[in-house]
Amino acid sequence: MEISTATSLDKPFIFELYQKAFPSEERKPFSLIERKAAMGYMEILVLKEYGKRCGFAITAFGQEIVLLDYFAIAEEYRGEGLGSDALLLLRELYRDNQFFLEIEELDSSQPNALERIRRKNFYLRNGMIETGIHVSLFNVKLELLASRPGLRYEACEEVYREMLGAAYRNMVKKL
């Protein structure tokens, strides 16, 4: 497994997988992600296995904190342990920072309830821990998981502010 900054040749693969892997209500405009990456607030990474693109990660930065904003493995590569390998590489890449991510809250009334449970279990199996922090982002209820204890909401808020600008006040709420 390799992880590297995405090039213009990687972007069509990443954009297509981004569209497939995330519901529309959870996707930021990809042009915003590219703009923030160009400014140094975000990073678009491509994941490759034996030289073939198999997934991507998009991260956002704060002072000493990194948000795994989007992470996906292409469907044809799922179930091969590549997600675990990639998450390990990401945690190593950002080892000097508090590394965190958002997952949809567990809710048995949702049609994707089992998928939510599997996703949370995947992250917990791969070393992420519960933080007790819950947010509403774009009206989607999310739980924050972190790579180590001590995640502070105020640090997360800094990342959201850098990523979304002044509009973050209307889009992000601590629950």
Q: Is the pLDDT of residue 168 over 80?
A: no
Reported pTM = 0.93
Q: Is the pLDDT of residue 12 over 80?
A: yes
SS3 112: coil
Dump pLDDT digits (tens) for 14-41: 999 999 999 888 888 999 999 999 999 9
Architecture of domain 2-174: 3-Layer(aba) Sandwich (3.40)
Average pLDDT of every residue of the chain:
94
Dump pLDDT digits (tens) for 88-139: 999 999 999 999 999 999 998 998 899 999 999 999 999 999 999 999 988 8
DSSP codes, 9-58: TTHHHHHHHHHHHS-GGGPPPHHHHHHHHHHTSEEEEEEEETTEEEEEEE
